[in-house]
Chain A
Amino acid sequence: MVNYGGDEVSALVIDVGSSSVRAGYAGDDTPKAVIPTSYGYHRAPLDADSAMTDVAEGAANGNTGKIAKMYMGQFGPSVWREGMEVTNPLSDGLIHDFEPVSALMRHAVVDVMRCNISEHPILVTEPAWNTSANRERMAEIMFEEFQVPAFYIANTGVLNAFAAGKGSALVIDVGQTMASVTPIVDGFVLRKGLVYSPLPQLVHAHARHTLLSPSPLRGGRGIDLFPHQLIANKMPVEANAPPRFALREDRTKGTTDSWRAWYEAREVEEWIQSVAGVMEQGWNEQVAASRPPKQYEFPTGYNAYFASERYLVGEQLFWHSPQLIASNPSVPKTLPTLISESLRACDPELRQVLVGNVVLTGGGSLFAGFSDRLSSELARSFPHVKIHSPGNPVERRYGGWLGGSVLGSLGTFHQLWISKEEWMEHGKAIVGQRCK
C-alpha cells in the first residue's frame, strides 16, 4: 500500500486485557476487532500423530504438544464443542502464557481486521505493573514473529489519561480481574503511587455466590446457571417458581468443567450488567430496600425479583464488612482504601491536582451509580473533586485502546517508535530505554 503523505503511518493499536483483546487502527474511535482473551482448545489425543498435522490457521502447536486445536474469537470459546476446554492466558492482568496471546493477536489483526500484520507499526498496551521480562517478550514476538516495521509499548494508565484528554490524572481502572489506581503526572506514571488489587474478582465471586447459594427467598435453592446452548427447551414460569426446562442430553456428556465455569461466569456477568448497581450515597439498608426491585430471567426460564441484593454486589467495591476482613485478612482492598493509599504516596501539592482530574475507566466500573458513589466518597476528604467518566460504554470499556489510538495518530509520537533496525542493533535493551 502506498502512503499518501502526512502523518499517516496506518499504525495499529493492540490492547490485551483480561476479558478481551482489542485491536484497531490508530486514529479510529472504536477498535475494529474485539475478541475474548479466553480461548477454547482441544487436547490432542495421546496417540497424536495425524491430528497434529492437520492443524490449520490459528491452531497453535504448543511446546508441550498438548493443545491440538485452538478456537479463538467471538465464536471460539462461546460455541459449544464436544470436549472443548476454555482457558485464559492472563492472570492478574499480566500475560503468563505468550503462546496463545500471539495467536490471539494474529487472529484479531489478520482474520478479523484482514490486515497484513507485517505492514503496520504496532502500538501495544501494558498494565502499569507489567514486568520488563514480559514487555521484552512482547517486543520479541512483534519483531521476530510478526516482522512489524516498528513497535511501541505504552502504559494503560497513561493511555487512559490521554483518552480523557489529560496529561495529569488519577486513573481509576476497574477491569475484569484487577482494579488499579494510577497517578499520572505530565504523561508519566508516578510509580510510588501505583496501587492495584484483584477487587473485581471478589465482586464477581460475591455475585456468583448470591445467585448460586440456596436462599429462603428462592424457595431454599440456588439458581442454575446453564447457558442457552445446554438447554433444549424451557417453559415460562412465575417469578421465583422452580424453572421448567430440559437440558440437551446430547451435550451434557461432552461438556467440560472449564467450559461450564467460563459460561457460568458469563451468565453472572450478564446478570451484573443487567440489574446490579451501586448506592450513590453510601450503603443504607432502608434506601436500598425502597428502590424498585428488578426482575431478571435466566436462560433456564427461572426468573426472580432482585431488590437490595443487587446493590450489595456493587457495594463490595467500596466497603467490606468487618467480619469479612476479620475472617480473611488477605481480602482485596476496597477502592476508597486504594485511592487513599495511592494519594498518600504522592506529594501533598500533587494530590489536589490529581483529585481534580480523576479518570474513571474499565468495564468493571459500568455499574449504575458508580461514578456518583465515587464522587461522594472522594468528596468526604477533598474539596474539589472532578471525575471524568465517559457515559459511552465503548469509551469506558476500551479507554486504554482509545488512548493508544490517540497517541498513535499524533505526528509528534512517531519519533518514539522502536524501528526494526533499532531492534536489530540494540536488542531487548532498547525497549526499556524507549518506553518509559
Chain B
Amino acid sequence: MSFRDSTVIIIETGRTVIRAGLGLHDLLKTPTVELTARVGLRRNASMNGTESNGNGKTSSSQDPLASTSRASSLPQNGQQNATVKDYLVGVQLDEALSTDSDIAISWPFADGDVRDWTQAEALWKHVLFTQLQRRRVQNESPVMLTLSPGLSRDTHERIGQIFFERFNVAGLGILERPVGQLYAANSLSGVVVDIGHDKTDITPIYDGFIVHSARTSTSVGVRDCQNYLAYLLRSNQSVMAAISPPEAPLDFETAHSTLLELVSQVWKAGHVKVPSDGETAVVEDEGVTDIAAVIVAGKERALIESGMKKRGMAKASAAEQQRQREIEALDLITVQFREHSLTLGKERHRFCEPLFDPSLLRGIPVTDAMPKSLAEMSLPLQEAVGLSVAQTEVDQRQYIWGGLFVTGDITRHVKGIGIALQSRLAPFIVNAELQTDVQARSIKVLNVPEYFPEYRDTGNGFAAFLGASITAKITFNDSMGKNFVSKADYTSKGPRSVIEMAPALL
C-alpha cells in the first residue's frame, strides 16, 4: 500500500515550535506552517476557578542534574478538566494575548516529552485541520511525525491513539528528530547539536541509531544569547537614548523587553556573525554556482536583482565608497527599529558567546532562570558535546566526530556556529598525525547539502523538517509499508502496532 505524494503530511514537533507541510514535491519544500508550540487557557474560563498548579513542577533549579536534564524552564499550566476546545492556539492565542492578559500559557513539548496530552492534541489538531485544511471524516493523508528521542512506549502508543482515533489519519510514521536532522545532512553517524530556545540537545548517532545513553541536554539556548546581547546593548548610549529617552525613561523591565525585541530583530536579519576562536577561518561565501538548481527553484529573479545591486554599488561615487569602507571597518550596521534608526557596532557579534561560556550570564540581572551555584552551572556547548561523545563506545567515536551537525532556529540566521564549535572542540581530538585506527583525529562539520535549493537560504534551521520529508518520501512510497502504521494495521492490532513499527523502539 502506498500513498499519493501530494497527500503526505509532515509534522515536525520541536520543543517550542511545530512546523508542518502538505505534500512531497520533487524538490522538497520548506514547511508552510510554523506554529509556536504553546497553548493558552483563559483563567476565568476554567470551570471551578482554581489556580493551576503553576510552574513549580518544572522549575529546573531544584533538579539535581540541572546541567544535563531535559526539563525546560518554560511554564506549564496543566488543568485537569480542560478539553481540547478550551485551549487557545496559534493566531487565536496571539489575539487573545494582545487584549487579555489573564491567560495561562503552557508549552506542552518544552521538556522534550509530552507534558500534557490534551494540549498536545490541541496543537496537532490545529495544524492538521485549521492550518492544513484537512477534513477529519475523509482524511486520506498519512502523517510523518517527528518527536524528541527516547520517549517511552506508552507515549508512542498514546500518540498512535490520538492520530488514528481522534484525527483519523490514513497512516502514521514516527521519526526521532535528531535522526531526521542527521539524514538532512546526508549522514548516518554524527553528533547533532540542536540549539533551542532555553535548552540545547546533544545527540550522538552511530550508524543510524541514536546512542541513547550518551544523549544530553544543556541549559543554554537562544534565550540566553538574547538576554546577553540585550544586556550588552544597555551600554550602547545611542541605542538607549533612542528607546528610552531621558525625558521619558522606561523602567528596567520594559527597557529590557524592548531591547530583547531589538536583539531578536537583529539576529533574525542575519546581522550576527560568530567569531570562530581564530583557529579555523570562516568559509567564504562562494556565490552561487549551481545555476540550474536556482532556476528550478524559481529564484532566478532574486539572484539577478542581487547581481544588479552589486553592479549598482560599483558605480557609486568615490565619496560614498569611502564612507562604505569606513562603515565596514567599524562593522557598523543601521537597523530600523520601531520609529528609530539605530546604529549597532561590533558588540552584536558577541551574541553567541553565552553558548560557549554560560558563566558570562552570571550577574546579569535579567536571567533569573540561571541556577545560583557554580556546581549547577550549565555546561558550555563544547564541554557538553565533548562529554556526550566520550560516553559512546571507544571505537564509535571517530565516526561520530566525523559528523558534527549544528541545527536549530539560530542556524537559519547566524552562520558559522558549527565551525566555531569545531575549533573549541579541539581538546577532545588527538593530533592529526597520530597513527591510530581508533582515536578520532579530526572533526568534520556537516551542513544541509547544496542540492536542496529550497533550503539554501535557511541554513540548518529546517533540518528536522527536511529529514522528515526525506523519510516520508521513502517510507510512504514503500509498497511493503513496514516503517509506518497504516489505518488497517492499527484497526487490527491496536496501539501496540505503533511500537512494532518503530525500529528505534525495538
Seen from chain A, the residues whose Cβ lies within 8 Å of a Cβ on chain B are: 1-2, 4, 8, 10, 25, 28-29, 32-35, 42, 54-59, 69-71, 73-76, 78-79, 81-84, 112-116, 228-229, 231, 233-234, 236-237, 270, 273-275, 294-297, 299, 301, 303, 393
Contact = CB atoms under 8 A, between A and B. Distances in A.
Contacts of A59: 64
Given A1-B157, A56-B62, A75 B387 contact: yes
Contact of A231 (B68, B153, B427, B431): B427
Contact of B387 (A42, A78, A297): A78
* Chain A, interface SS category: loop
B374 interface: yes
Interface in B80-98: none
Contact of A295 (B152, B427, B434, B506): B434
A34 B213 contact: yes
A4 B500 CA distance: 13
B435 interface: yes
Contacts, number: 112
Given A228-B386, A274-B394, A79 B68 contact: yes
B431 A303 contact: yes
A236 B64 contact: no
Interface in B185-240: 212-214, 216
Given A79-B68, A228-B386, A296-B436, A57 B213 contact: no
A74 B67 CA distance: 12
Contacts of B493: 4
Interface residues of B, number: 45
Question: Which A-B residue pairs are the 9 nearest by beta carbons?
Answer: A114-B152, A297-B430, A75-B68, A236-B431, A274-B438, A273-B394, A295-B435, A56-B62, A34-B213
Given A28-B506, A229-B383, A393 B393 contact: yes
B431 A228 contact: no
A82 B434 contact: no
Contacts of A54: 62
B439 interface: yes
A56 B386 contact: no
Contacts of B213: 33-35, 74, 112
Interface string B126-150: 0000000000000000000000001
Interface centre among B150, B213, B495 (most CB of A within 10 A): B213
A343 B491 CA distance: 56
B427 A228 contact: yes
B303 interface: no
A70 B65 CA distance: 9
Contacts of A115: 152-154
B152 A56 contact: no
B204 to A, nearest CB: 11
B379 interface: yes
B64 A69 contact: yes
Interface string B357-392: 000000000000000001100010001001100110
B431 A70 contact: no
B43 to A, nearest CB: 28
B494 A297 contact: no
Contact of B439 (A10, A55, A82, A274): A274
A268 to B, nearest CB: 12
A113 B438 CA distance: 31
B5 interface: no
Contacts of B157: 1
Given A54-B62, A57-B64, A270 B394 contact: yes
A301 B431 contact: yes
A1 B154 contact: yes
B63 interface: yes
Contacts of A78: 387, 390-391
A399 B75 CA distance: 43
B116 interface: no
B64 A71 contact: yes
Contact of A71 (B65, B390, B394): B65
Given A270-B394, A273-B394, A74 B152 contact: no
A112 B112 CA distance: 13
20 contacts: A2-B494, A4-B493, A35-B213, A42-B375, A56-B62, A73-B68, A79-B67, A112-B150, A112-B212, A114-B150, A115-B154, A228-B427, A229-B387, A273-B395, A274-B436, A275-B438, A294-B435, A296-B436, A297-B436, A393-B393
A8 B383 CA distance: 42
Interface centre among A70, A84, A114 (most CB of B within 10 A): A114
Contacts of A274: 394, 436, 438-439
Contacts of B439: 274, 296-297
Nearest to A35: B213
B506 A29 contact: yes
Contacts of A83: 375
Contact of B65 (A8, A73, A231): A73
